[in-house]
Every structure is written in structure tokens, then in C-alpha cells.
Amino acid sequence: MDLTPSRMCSKIQDSPVFDFSDWCASQLSTVENALDDWVACPTDTKTPSDLGAAMRYAVLGGGKRLRPLLTMAACNAVAGNQMAALRAACAVELIHAYSLVHDDMPCMDNDSIRRGKPTVHVRYGEAQALLAGDALQALAFELLTPDDDTVDCETQSVLCRTLAQAAGCAGMAGGQAIDLASVGLALTSEQLHQMHSLKTGALLQASVKMGAYCGQASSPVSQALHEYGSAIGLAFQVIDDVLDVTADSIILGKTAGKDAAHDKPTFVTLMGLNAANAYAQQLLANAQSSLNVLHEHGLHNTHALHALANMLVNRHH
């Protein structure tokens, strides 16, 4: 498979006036073009047509691309290797996409709508959805290990390990296992935090860490970005729980109210709606303040990280 994108990203230039909308548009275009190039084409003779179509259906044409944006923003903050960051950004999005395909299946959450359209198993059948998720997971690690000199071997190794840990039993998959085992149970605050730090937070945090690993971040800078990723990872889930109660399915692009319908523990059921919103704002403040360490080390290009945190917590869908 040719893993050289036909449209390369260009290094983001520092600017005294940061336009977040322009930055997002540029980065989203870069990521979408790379995903379009890298995810199996249905006409590729090496990929069975239905499988390739299911993979592309799962990835392309929808989603906030928050994880890729975090990776690109963190890399930019430490003046890192932009091609390494693009591969990492796409890899983390493929892991996220595969997890959604599997989570939506009848054996898990049994959902029929994702990103405003039928879920993959509804569109292509359960078996093909399962295989599409498997193939997307494998492709993620293929992207992280190019056979050219665009990403050095040490960086490849660190990126693969970071993503694997975030996606596995000590991360996303482990959190999902806890979630499935917790239906109908009254979890403590500590238990709920632990579940979501793995299920949702681990991959968001890994997105930031992978971006940082594409540069030469010092230990204090790496720790600050680790704290930033931890705070926004948890905040994302808190707001997700809030939106499940307050938004409708059309706005969300997925089934609203399913947590309550499935009797799942959430931050809203634990804390109440107002307290959950206030907690998300506190986590946002924690994330923003952690970036001060970067400024202390002469790294001032944190505009995108600040804006992404704000967008994440104050989103409406």
C-alpha cells in the first residue's frame, strides 16, 4: 500500500494574531486529504471491495477530528516534525473510528445512528463492521511505521507504544469493559473517574502526547502537556454526559438519552446537571493553566491548544 499522501501538510507558522477558524480549516483539510489517501480505496485490488467501502464509510465524511487537531496543535507547540504529527493524527483518528464501529454493534451499545447516518453494522452488516474495525486498527499502526525516512525509528517506536497503551486494556478497551460491567450500578466518584479516564480520556491524552513526541519536548513541558491532556480528556466526557441529557439526536448526530435508557452511570447522575457543567469549566481552567509551563520554557505557540480546550468544553454537540 502506498502510504505517501498526495497532499502534504505545511508547517504552521507563528502569527501575532491567531485565527482559530483559519487554523482549524487548514488542519482539517490536511487531515481529511491524508485520510482520503491512506484509508483503503474500494477499487484497490488488494482490499476486498466491501471491506474497503466499510472502512471509508466509518472514517470519512464526518466527525469533529478533535484528536487529530490536538495532535497537530501539540506538535506545533513544541515545533515538532509535521509529517510525523500528520501520521500520528491520522492513526489516532483510525483508532477512534474503529472503536466507534465496534461500540455501536449489538453486542456493545447497539446503536443505529452515528455522525448523523446509519452505523457501519446497519449499513454493511455485523460481520463486515467487525472486520472494518479490525482493519482500521491495523492500519493505524501501519501509518506510524513508514518505510521511508520521514519519521525516525525512535519516534515511530514511541508513537506506536503510546497509541497501543491508550487503546488497549489499560486504556480505551479497558474503560469500555468497565462501562459494560457497570450498567445499573451506582459507581462512586472515584470509580466513575477511573472508568472515563480510560474509556475516553486515554485516547485524547495520547493525542496530545503523540504530538509532543514529534518534537523535542523537555520533561517539564511533556508533563505539562500530559496534565493538559488529562484535564481535557475528562472534561470531554463530562460534557458528553451533559449533552446526552440536554441535546437531541439531530444535533448530536447520534442517539440522545441512551445513557439513561441503558441505566449507565454518568457525571450527571452522580453530580447533577449544574454541578457537572461547573466541573467541566474547572477542568477547562486546569487545562489552560497547565500550558503556562510551556511559556516559561520559551514555547509560546499554544494558541491552538487553548482554543481547542475551550471549544471542547463549550461545544453544543
Query: What does the pLDDT read at residue 8?
Result: 38
Neighbours of 286 (CB within 10 A): 17
Predicted pLDDT at 45: 66
CA 119 – CA 121 distance, rounded (Å): 6
Which grid coordinates belong to 266? 454518568
Q: Are 102 and 136 in contact (CB under 8 A)?
A: no
Q: What is the 3-state secondary structure (H, E, C) of 81-110?
A: CHHHHHHHHHHHHHHHHHHHHHHCCCCCCC
Predicted pLDDT at 255 = 57
Give exposure, 169-191, as e/b (b: 16+ Cβ within 10 Å). Answer: eebbbbbbebbeebeeeebeeee
* CATH architecture assigned to 20-313: Orthogonal Bundle (1.10)
Under DSSP, is residue 114 helix (H, G, I), strand (E, B) or coil?
Answer: strand
User: Residue 118 forms beta bridges with which residues?
Assistant: 113
> How many CB atoms are located within 10 Å of the residue 266 CB?
20
Cell of 170: 489499560
**Rounded average pLDDT per 10-residue block, the chain, 317 residues:** 45 61 96 94 70 94 92 96 97 97 93 91 96 96 94 96 97 94 89 94 96 92 96 94 77 54 80 95 97 93 96 88
Q: Interior CA angle at 128 toward 42 and 30, to 5°?
A: 45
